[in-house]
Structure 1
């Protein structure tokens, strides 16, 4: 076999597609448009909920599938849900208690919206939870929280930044999300390029035909990736699309 023909590129958003200013560069936008025009599929595979991914999806004019909340939801199109994996309410109570015990910032995505430490009058039992996250710059606290979450043995535990921890139901990851998209489109994971910078990207980077770590990625992401590219400030997405998807 000659060089592999890739059909789909799965993009993490924060730290990958987006600049530090949370914008999509003109170069990246142009490359995505060129890929779509060439008949390739471009999808977002993000830790964000659909609520906060949507402005970018609209800006890019994408009507392709989306993997949101680290695989907790897979969208067939931006307005058609394919699958959703909820967290058990009891688990959310435990994680919420953990955040209070260590007095750290927390945030969580529910079907109904985004909630965090400052959300007033939140009834955990009345909402449908997708993902829970902790944030603290105190490494000691982060270690304790991670150990406690691991001991519960019912979560997929990752991060989207060295100072946070993200939790999804066991078995739910960006890889499971991208695999669902592949089944939907009738393509193989070997035909996928996946790009990311954080621990929550490792699963899809390992499962994809070509796993790309960002130049600004966490060290362990670079170690498992097939290639490491430039940073999110240097239009990495455009570079990878030009080099591997369109050539």
Structure 2
């Protein structure tokens, strides 16, 4: 077993239980790890605005990776790096959603917009990520095939019924690597935990890649280990087994 210095945590389906809460067990383990000088960071598909209340709840002042790596924060109040999706690409992604009559949402620097956003002028915003949701698997695959043919975007998901699009070359892995460079830590000293396609890159690159018990099968296949589910305090179990001395 390596000596791990940092743990990168996906939020939904990993740190958060099905009620979107951080269990007392997970909280206690994170605070104990921080007290021992270990670095605990969020690495999430959520935007900063959505992630920050949980970061504050845990009392963390560490870096964080949000919007699947499109933003990296040096601390909760200091943006380190931001990678935008070109407006032309956003227009094309939006058109694809309209053509396929499916729910869409998009993260901009200003906040999250979706199909119900009134009077949205896309040209007035800087964009970080675009997403689709549909229970129609055939429709979802059709959208994936079209976007894939462009060759300009990272295509992942955070649920089997959605797609998440980030700039090519941007992922949670690149975000965590940026944090490691900032802190002088090697990726071999990182534990990464997640449950969905958007976690695969960081799970693969980390010294210890952990798939949740509730993870998608592809995530379990590439992970070093599979732990218990997000309703069974998996984060606490992994921290106590692999991070704490």
Q: Classify the TM-score, shorter chain.
A: over 0.9
- Runs of 4+ aligned structure 1 residues displaced above 4 Å come to none
CA displacement, residues 96-124 of structure 1 (integer Å, 9 cap, x when unaligned): 00001111110110001110000011111
Map residues 73-112 of structure 1 onto 2, 5 A cutoff.
73-112=71-110
Q: Which residue of 1 aligns with 2:39?
A: 41
Partners in 2 of 1:16 and 1:87 — Cα distance?
27
CA displacement, residues 102-161 of structure 1 (integer Å, 9 cap, x when unaligned): 111101100011100000111111100000000000101100010011011100000000
CA-CA distance at 1:11 after TM superposition: 0.1
**Residue 178 (structure 1) aligned with residue 176 (structure 2):** yes
Q: Matched residue of 1:148: which SS?
A: helix
Q: Matched residue of 2:19: which SS?
A: coil
Partners in 2 of 1:66 and 1:26 — Cα distance?
21
Q: Which residue of 2 aligns with 1:18?
A: 16
Partners in 2 of 1:58 and 1:246 — Cα distance?
22
Structure 1 residue runs of 5 or longer lacking an equivalent are: none
Q: Matched residue of 2:13: which SS?
A: helix
Q: Matched residue of 1:93: which SS?
A: helix
**Of 118-127 and 232-241, the range deviating more from structure 2:** 118-127
Structure 2 residue runs of 5 or longer lacking an equivalent are: none
Map residues 126-141 of structure 1 onto 2, 5 A cutoff.
126-141=124-139
Map residues 209-224 of structure 1 onto 2, 5 A cutoff.
209-224=207-222
Map residues 157-236 of structure 1 onto 2, 5 A cutoff.
157-236=155-234
Q: Which of 145, 148, 166 is residue 147 of structure 1 equivalent to?
A: 145
Partners in 2 of 1:189 and 1:224 — Cα distance?
16
Partners in 2 of 1:190 and 1:67 — Cα distance?
18
Q: Which residue of 2 aligns with 1:118?
A: 116
CA displacement, residues 159-209 of structure 1 (integer Å, 9 cap, x when unaligned): 000000000000000000000000000010000000000000000000000
CA-CA distance at 1:78 after TM superposition: 0.5
Q: Matched residue of 1:76: which SS?
A: strand
CA displacement, residues 52-73 of structure 1 (integer Å, 9 cap, x when unaligned): 1111111111100000000000
The Cα RMSD (Å) is: 0.5
Q: So what's the TM-score if we normalise by structure 2? A: 0.99
Partners in 2 of 1:13 and 1:6 — Cα distance?
20
Q: So what's the TM-score if we normalise by structure 1? A: 0.99
Q: Matched residue of 1:14: which SS?
A: coil
Partners in 1 of 2:211 and 2:110 — Cα distance?
32
